[in-house]
């Protein structure tokens, strides 16, 4: 932890569309950020843009308190294998959506239920997997503008889920608890629905908003 009580965040795949947007927002919010990449040089170049540092995937995971996974589903299992030795006792935030090209607008969840549950099984009980950010368009995260999209946050460990809610807020978004990790299937599936909506309605990155009133009449 830093003196401001902000954890060091590694963004594995932080050179990419989603990860670079999140990493930039956390860096600007004062979080120590390390970009993890297959190429440390590429990571360093990406991180320099917001005053952070780059490293290999394993080094970034080892240096962090919280590890955020923003890699394509096709490489999800391999990346988990690579960083697993450096994740014990830590929280891993998984943003992976199990899209299967070319039909990315069709829900195709894996047999185990969803990518987040696969990640938890692969990491084992020593890692607390929380999943989030499935429904936010990556290009909207670039810069600091407000984004009309809630972030559903799933996880079996309450404390870990709360810590990720703080990261969502630090990125300028509203987090909504979505319950246990198995419920991540709903948000992962919803991404394909949003991709379809984008196509059908020519929307530039449809998002989700959870609405409702609490028992005292105040809005959610
Ligand atoms: N894009 C979105 O709007 C969005 C929104 C919500 C969730 N997601 C999910 O977030 C994840 C990342 O999406 P993205 O659009 O940011 O992906 P991306 O830009 O295509 O890739 C992210 C990074 O993953 C690494 N990578 C790519 N192929 C790899 C491979 N074969 N092996 C190891 N690493 C590889 C690359 O980093 P290095 O080359 O530096 O290693 C790349 O910069 C996906 O699971 C996606 O479904 C995306």
| Other beta carbons within 10 Å of 185 | 21
Distances in Å between the alpha carbon of 61 and those of 9, 85, 108?
Answer: 8, 9, 29
Q: Is residue 218 part of a domain?
A: no
Task: Give residue 2's pLDDT.
Answer: 58
Return the closest-CA partner of residue 166 out of 3, 5, 2.
Answer: 5
Total number of domains in the chain: 1
Asked if residue 46 is part of any domain, the answer here is yes
Q: Examine residue 3 and state whether it is found in any structural domain, yes or no.
A: no
Model confidence, pTM: 0.97
Which residue, judged by its Cα, is nearest atom 43 of ligand 1? Answer: 16
* Beta strands 174-179 and 150-155, pairing class: parallel
Nearest protein CA to atom 23 of ligand 1, as residue: 13
* β-bridge mates for residue 12, sequence order: 36, 69
Residue closest by Cα to atom 42 of ligand 1: 16
* CATH at residue 159: 3.40.50.720
Contact between residue 154 and residue 132 where contact means Cβ atoms under 8 Å apart = yes
98 Cβ closer than 6 Å to some ligand 1 atom = no
Atom 32 of ligand 1, nearest CA residue: 75
Cβ atoms < 10 Å from Cβ of 179: 14
Tokens of 58: 């394993």
The whole-number pLDDT of residue 4 equals 75
Q: Is residue 18 within 8 Å of residue 26, measured between CB atoms?
A: no
Range of the structural domain that residue 115 is part of: 9-201
Does 2 reside within a domain? no
Q: Which residue is listed with tokens 């994740």?
A: 87
The answer to whether position 164 is within a domain reads yes
Whole-number Cα distances in Å, 40 to 17, 59, 72, 159, 189: 17, 9, 18, 32, 32
pLDDT tens by residue, the chain, 220 residues: 654 789 999 999 999 999 999 999 999 999 999 999 999 999 999 999 999 999 999 999 999 999 999 999 999 999 999 999 999 999 999 999 999 999 999 999 999 999 999 999 999 999 999 999 999 999 999 999 999 999 999 999 999 999 999 999 999 999 999 999 999 999 999 999 999 999 999 999 999 999 999 999 999 9
Residue 99 CA, closest ligand 1 atom number? 47
On whether residue 116 sits in a domain, the answer given is yes
Between CA 93 and CA 131 the distance in angstroms is 5
Q: Kindly state if the Cβ of 75 falls inside 6 Å of ligand 1.
A: yes
């Amino acid at each position: 932890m830093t003196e401001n009580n902000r954890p060091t965040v590694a963004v594995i795949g932080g050179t990419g569309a989603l990860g670079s947007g999140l990493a930039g927002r956390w860096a600007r919010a004062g979080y120590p950020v390390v970009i993890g990449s297959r190429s440390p040089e590429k990571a360093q170049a990406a991180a320099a843009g917001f005053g952070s540092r780059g490293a290999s995937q394993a080094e970034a995971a080892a240096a962090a308190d919280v590890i955020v996974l923003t890699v394509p589903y096709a490489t999800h299992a391999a990346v988990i294998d690579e960083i697993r030795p450096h994740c014990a006792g830590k929280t891993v935030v998984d943003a992976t959506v199990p899209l299967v090209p070319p039909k990315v607008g069709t829900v195709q969840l894996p047999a185990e239920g969803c990518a987040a549950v696969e990640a938890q099984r692969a990491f084992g009980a020593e890692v607390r997997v929380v999943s989030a950010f499935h429904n936010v368009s990556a290009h909207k995260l670039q810069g600091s503008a407000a984004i009309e999209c809630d972030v559903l946050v799933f996880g079996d460990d309450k404390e870990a889920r709360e810590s990720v809610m703080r990261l969502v807020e630090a990125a300028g978004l509203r987090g909504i608890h979505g319950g246990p990790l198995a419920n991540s299937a709903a948000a992962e599936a919803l991404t394909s629905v949003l991709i379809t909506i984008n196509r059908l309605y020519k929307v530039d990155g449809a998002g989700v908003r959870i609405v409702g009133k609490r028992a005292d009449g105040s809005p959610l």
